């Protein structure tokens, strides 16, 4: 099992809900994936020319020129803007996994590399948008393709004279590749965005190729909170990332799905033994919580847990980093692969 530093209380049902929303979200926050990063914007042009019309769930946004001052909201947009070489003037803060400075470390590192004035911090990404703080940053556009931006927030921002790029079809449903794609459209960097997605996909493919043993294993993404177990479904981008590394989602995962959610399902302790994956992936807030998960009489009804074939990641930072974005993939992929390889080794004992 792979550990990442963490020093916050044991997971509660609320913390799991926050994590699922934040990244499924993370992203992947979340929705289905797309291999065409230009798709979600439904733009009238797919190159760097302007004016440009972007269609989304609240209507249309016309950009006459490439914006010089970009504000971001939601998950993944800040990562995409920075990865494409642009410093946002404002971005959301992050309580879950953001540390003392309320900023994910991969974002902080990219800001430092890009140089220049650091973005102003808006309120927490999962809370309401402060239009007053946003206006104070004087952006040319608010880029929020994967977010919880409400209609009233959208109306307030546009009434203040700031164009907004909202989610395409529903809140928290834009895939990570599409977030990069629409960001490229807004910045007039569509070619660079397409290249970035290809590079990120290649990083994942190459990492999986170095571990051909992954292709012979099934996997289940399991989280536990107060004796309630949650499975992430193949539609979740975090599970998709594991599949892209070579794993196959165990059939038991979809067999246990209740249909209440498109990306996760709750599993009772009476049915927990039906999770029949070769490897279990889990994430918790503390080392103590991981020890409890590994030793619990209920958890050990899962054959992979009883066999020690668990890739366990500890800490809020790790919990957030598993959600694929333009910056988290290169930041967390080596740690992720090492932990998975250790879990697969346990299946061979």
SS3 category, 82: helix
- Count Cβ atoms below 10 Å from residue 262 Cβ, excluding itself: 15
Q: Whose CA is closest to 143, among 179, 110, 188, 190? A: 179
Do 13-27+204-347 and 52-189 show the same overall fold? Answer: yes
Parallel/antiparallel/unpaired status of strands 141-143 and 164-165: parallel
Amino acid 47: pLDDT: 64
Q: pLDDT (tens digit, 9 = 90+) per residue, 49-80?
A: 999 999 999 999 999 999 999 999 999 999 99
Would you kindly state where each structural domain of the chain is located, as residue ranges? 13-27+204-347, 52-189
User: Quick one: how far is CA 303 from the chain centroid?
Assistant: 28
- pTM score of the predicted model: 0.86
Phi, psi of 123 (to 5 degrees): -70, 175
Mean pLDDT estimate for the chain? 88
Q: For the ranges 62-66, 170-174, 214-218, which has the lowest average pLDDT? A: 170-174
The pLDDT of residue 110 is 98
Using DSSP bridges, classify how beta strands 52-56 and 59-63 pair: parallel, antiparallel or unpaired.
antiparallel
DSSP state for residue 9 in the 8-state scheme = P
Q: In the predicted model, is pLDDT for residue 6 greater than 60? A: no
- Look at residue 284 in the predicted model and tell me its pLDDT: 93
Q: Contact at 8 Å (CB) between 282 and 229?
A: no
Residue 271 forms beta bridges with which residues? none
pLDDT band at 46 (very low <50, low <70, confident <90, very high): low
- The larger pLDDT score, comparing residue 296 to residue 19, is at 296
Q: Look up the CATH number of domain 52-189.
A: 3.40.50.1980
Over residues 107-121, the pLDDT tens digits come to: 999 999 999 899 999
Determine if the peptide bond prior to 51 is cis (ω within 30°).
yes
- The whole-angstrom separation of Cα 9 and Cα 6 is 9
Q: At what angle do helices 237-244 and 190-209 cross, to 10 degrees?
A: 60
Q: How far is CA 13 from CA 28, 171, 284, 286, 346, in A?
A: 19, 22, 12, 15, 29
pLDDT score for 36: 37
Question: Confidence band (pLDDT; 50, 70, 90) for 164?
Answer: very high
b/e burial code for range 146-164 (CB count within 10 A of at least 16 → b): bbbbeeebbebbbeeebbb
Rounded Cα–Cα distance for residues 62 and 286 (Å) = 46
13-27+204-347 belongs to CATH 3.30.1370.60: no
- The model's pLDDT over 284-342, given as tens digits with 9 standing for 90+, comes to 999 999 999 999 999 999 999 999 999 999 999 999 999 999 999 999 999 999 999 99
pLDDT above 70 as % of the chain: 86
């Amino acid at each position: 099992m792979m550990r990442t530093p963490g020093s916050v209380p044991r997971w509660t049902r609320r913390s799991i809900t926050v994590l699922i929303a934040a990244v499924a979200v993370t992203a992947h926050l979340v929705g289905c994936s797309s291999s065409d990063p230009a798709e979600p914007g439904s733009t009238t042009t797919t190159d760097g020319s302007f004016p440009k019309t972007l269609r989304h769930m609240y209507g249309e946004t016309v950009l006459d020129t490439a914006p010089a001052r970009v504000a971001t909201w939601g998950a993944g947009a800040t990562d995409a803007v920075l990865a494409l070489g642009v410093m946002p003037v404002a971005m959301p803060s992050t309580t879950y996994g953001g540390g003392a400075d309320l900023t994910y470390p991969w974002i902080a590192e990219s800001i430092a590399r890009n140089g220049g004035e650091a973005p102003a911090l808006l309120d927490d990404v999962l809370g309401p948008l402060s239009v007053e703080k946003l206006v104070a940053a004087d952006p040319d556009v608010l880029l929020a393709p994967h977010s919880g931006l409400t209609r009233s927030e959208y109306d307030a921002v546009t009434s203040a004279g700031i164009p907004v790029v909202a989610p395409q079809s529903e809140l928290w449903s834009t895939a990570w590749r599409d977030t990069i794609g629409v960001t490229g459209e807004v910045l007039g960097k569509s070619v660079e965005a397409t290249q970035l997605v290809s590079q990120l996909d290649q990083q994942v493919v190459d990492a999986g190729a170095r571990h051909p043993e992954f292709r012979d294993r099934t996997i289940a993404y399991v989280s536990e909170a107060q004796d309630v177990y949650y499975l992430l479904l193949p539609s979740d981008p975090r599970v998709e990332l594991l599949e892209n590394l070579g794993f196959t989602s165990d059939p038991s995962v979809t067999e246990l799905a209740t249909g209440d959610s498109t990306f996760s399902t709750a599993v009772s302790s009476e049915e927990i033994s039906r999770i029949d994956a070769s490897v279990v992936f889990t994430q918790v807030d503390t080392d103590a919580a991981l020890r409890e998960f590994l030793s619990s009489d209920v958890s050990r009804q899962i054959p992979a847990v009883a066999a020690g074939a668990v890739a366990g990641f500890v800490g809020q930072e790790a919990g957030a980093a598993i959600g694929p974005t333009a910056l988290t993939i290169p930041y967390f992929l080596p740690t992720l692969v090492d932990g998975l390889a250790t879990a697969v080794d346990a299946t061979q004992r």
